[in-house]
Structure 1
Amino acid sequence: GQRMEHRRARAERAHERMDHLVEELNLTEEQQEEIKALHRQQKEKAEVRRREMQEQLRAERKAAQETMEAEMMKILTPEQQAKFAEMQAERDAKRQQHLERQIERTEQRLQQLKEEQEGGN
């Protein structure tokens, strides 16, 4: 999809930049390998930072949601609180069902790929 095209385009631009450096700076093979290693290290560090930031953002959103719900509960009557809890339970059950369907579809697709691979050998 689009994400793969974007990654491919980025990789292509990185390759073009490297070619440009090699040509303009007359880099040796050893220098090229060292620079490529440096780029890989930087890419790995950036990926770790990205994951950490995603996890932090997810935790902050969850905390904000919990705070908002706790404040909301102070406003609701006991009957409304019970109804809200019921609504939450229904939402959680639907989410769980959706997850289970996704897992099932993924397992089916993996099995299908495995069968295709075995059939191709």
Structure 2
Amino acid sequence: MVPPDYNPDGPSGPDQPVEELLNQLSPSQILVLKTLAYEGWLSRNQLKKETRLPERTVKRALSTLEDHSLITKITHGEDGRKANYNISPVVELPPKFGPGVDYSDPNQDQNTDDI
């Protein structure tokens, strides 16, 4: 589900091509992005468990990825403190960031090699 106010170009439009931006991310930011691509919607706490990164590192990675419109955030509850994150629908990870998988279908077999 994409929030109604979601803008794939970010608040002021794209600053640079997505692949160029991906090449500038830190290893922690790439790990968080890849985890969201494979797992789908996750909370910050779930990301911390999945990636085994410190909470502060996950929080900073999410902030950077969100600033560059690489992920989407949906808040829950009346106070807006609970949030889930997912890779933005317009972001397609290049092959060097993982196998060619349709990230929108969590039931897709990730191994496409014939046995």
Which protein is richer in strand relative to its size? 2
Q: Which one has a larger percent helix, Structure 1 or Structure 2?
A: 1
Structure with the bigger RCO (C-alpha within 8 Å, sep 6+) is 2
Q: TM-score, normalised by structure 1?
A: 0.20
TM-score, structure 2 as length reference: 0.21
Larger Rg: 1
